[in-house]
């Protein structure tokens, strides 16, 4: 379960504050009629989010995960069984009456995935069964801690649950950590540290009272970290209510730390939901449930990427990858033809014509776009464009097809360089 409660509030005001950049770059916004902590995504922000979501789904598919969808509502009884109602209800929205029943906006996806697993019988030959979903969940966060995309009440979580044997649990959790590491490398995210989050003093019934459960899960997570060669720090009071977890910590440009990704080993919910598989001996056995999230919530991941890149996203994430700038009205049709060819290749391109200002003003306005293609009379006659790069590079006049091929290569490989070999 993704835990949003112990992360620092990103209440800062610097050049890379994602809230300011979100407004300036038309990425997302809020409205008091929608409510605090319930941001909406504008078209450019939705492009970044969609590209990130597709990357995660692709990475999960390649790692053997199968994707599901589950509803954001569940009966109160579901969360009583899972333990959320007794240990986590302060962070949940109140139940809604639906006839004789009470339904709740879910605070977590794991109970739903347990029910999906339980919907049919499973053989040991099917394990590990890796179930993933990018789904919505809701937390009743106090208004004082809400901020931009980093602390919200409507969360879209990149979540997954691996149902496996006890013998498979360490390897599955270690593979999940490796998947997180590869994603960070592709996204340009740097992990500040890894934290083994343990229970603290439990005076208010915050944690499940099962010392043996905690001992077993903690020992397995230590084995995962040690065998991965990852340095870590133990932190009391940061565990999920049902078990310990590995938290991957990141730091924003203002030096504030928060959790982005998690890996957990759970003995509690398989017991509560009476999950089982049929072993090689023909008898029923209890699976272990490994929870993991590669990028945590989409909201927090995008906030971090906005701040880290200052809005100058890598080519594959950029809302607009190519802006075409005709010098005069006479080159407008050629500019639109270049954009049509770019769109046909799956690239994101726009024309910023003379009606939007002088050429110099349009170049400044598009300073965060990775590629600018200027078309004057000479370029229009030769199917050329004069290329300007976001990093200040000036490759000069090149054929339109060469430019589009180079951008396509950067997108496909998620390359950081703007003008490497095509």
Find the helix or strand (DSSP H, E) in which 270 lies: helix 268-272
Residue with tokens 């910023």: 352
Q: What per-residue confidence (pLDDT) applies to 253?
A: 81
Find the helix or strand (DSSP H, E) in which 292 lies: strand 288-293
Local confidence band at 5 (pLDDT 50, 70, 90 cut-offs)? very low
Given a cut of 80, is residue 148 above it in pLDDT?
yes
Find the helix or strand (DSSP H, E) in which 217 lies: helix 211-228
Query: How many C-beta atoms surround the C-beta of residue 94 within 10 A?
Result: 9
CA distance from start to end of the chain: 43
Average pLDDT score over the chain: 92
Q: How far apart are CA 90 and CA 67, in angstroms?
A: 30
Do residues 246 and 221 touch, judged by C-beta distance below 8 A? yes
- Partners of 194 in the β-ladder: 232, 248
Q: 381-392 pLDDT, tens per residue?
A: 999 999 999 999
Q: What per-residue confidence (pLDDT) applies to 6?
A: 44
Q: How far apart are CA 245 and CA 264, in angstroms?
A: 4
Residue 235, CB half-sphere, CA atoms under 13 Å: how many? Answer: 19
Token pair of 393, please? 């590079």
Q: Of 145 and 7, which is predicted with more confidence?
A: 145
Given a cut of 60, is residue 374 above it in pLDDT?
yes
Q: What per-residue confidence (pLDDT) applies to 199?
A: 85
Question: What is the average pLDDT across 367-378?
Answer: 96
Residue with tokens 């990427």: 305
- Strand 396-399 and strand 384-389: the pairing is antiparallel
Q: Of 56 and 415, which is predicted with more confidence?
A: 56
Q: How far apart are CA 2 and CA 133, in angstroms?
A: 13
Token pair of 55, please? 């990357």
Question: What is the average pLDDT across 56-74?
Answer: 97
Q: How far apart are CA 197 and CA 234, in angstroms?
A: 6
């Amino acid at each position: 379960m993704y835990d949003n409660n112990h992360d620092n509030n990103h209440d800062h005001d610097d050049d890379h504050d994602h809230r300011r950049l979100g407004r300036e770059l038309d990425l997302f916004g809020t409205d008091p009629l929608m409510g605090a902590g319930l941001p909406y995504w504008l078209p450019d922000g939705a492009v970044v989010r969609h590209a990130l979501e597709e990357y995660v789904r692709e990475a999960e598919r390649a790692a053997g995960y199968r994707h599901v969808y589950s509803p954001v509502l569940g009966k109160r009884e579901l969360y009583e069984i899972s333990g959320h109602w007794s240990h986590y209800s302060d962070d949940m929205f109140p139940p809604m009456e639906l006839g004789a029943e009470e339904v709740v906006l879910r605070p977590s996806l794991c109970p739903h995935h347990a029910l999906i697993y339980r919907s049919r019988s499973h053989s040991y030959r099917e394990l590990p069964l890796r179930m993933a979903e990018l789904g919505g969940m809701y937390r009743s966060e106090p208004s004082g801690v809400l901020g931009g995309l980093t602390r919200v009440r409507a969360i879209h979580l990149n979540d997954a649950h691996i149902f496996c044997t006890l013998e498979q649990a360490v390897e599955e959790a270690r593979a999940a950590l490796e998947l997180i590491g590869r994603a960070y490398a592709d996204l340009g995210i740097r992990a500040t540290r890894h934290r083994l989050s343990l229970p603290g003093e439990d005076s208010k019934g915050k944690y499940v009272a099962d010392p043996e459960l905690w001992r077993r899960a903690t020992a397995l997570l230590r084995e995962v970290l040690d065998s991965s060669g990852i340095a870590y720090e133990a932190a009391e009071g940061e565990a999920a209510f049902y078990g310990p977890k590995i938290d991957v910590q990141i730091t924003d440009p203002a030096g504030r730390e928060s959790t982005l990704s998690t890996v957990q080993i759970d003995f509690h919910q398989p017991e509560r939901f009476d999950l089982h598989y049929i072993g090689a001996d023909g008898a029923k056995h209890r699976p272990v449930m490994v929870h993991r999230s590669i990028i945590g919530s989409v909201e927090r991941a995008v906030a971090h990427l906005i701040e880290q890149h200052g809005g100058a996203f890598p080519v594959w994430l950029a809302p607009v990858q190519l802006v075409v700038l005709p010098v005069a009205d006479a080159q407008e049709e050629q500019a639109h033809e270049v954009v049509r060819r770019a769109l046909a290749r799956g690239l994101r391109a726009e024309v910023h014509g003379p009606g939007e200002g002088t050429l110099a003003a349009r170049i400044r306005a598009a300073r965060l776009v990775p590629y600018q293609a200027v078309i004057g009379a000479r370029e229009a006659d030769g199917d050329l464009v004069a290329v300007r790069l976001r990093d200040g590079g000036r490759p000069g006049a090149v054929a339109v097809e060469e430019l589009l091929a180079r951008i396509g290569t950067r997108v496909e490989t998620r390359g950081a360089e703007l003008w490497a070999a095509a």
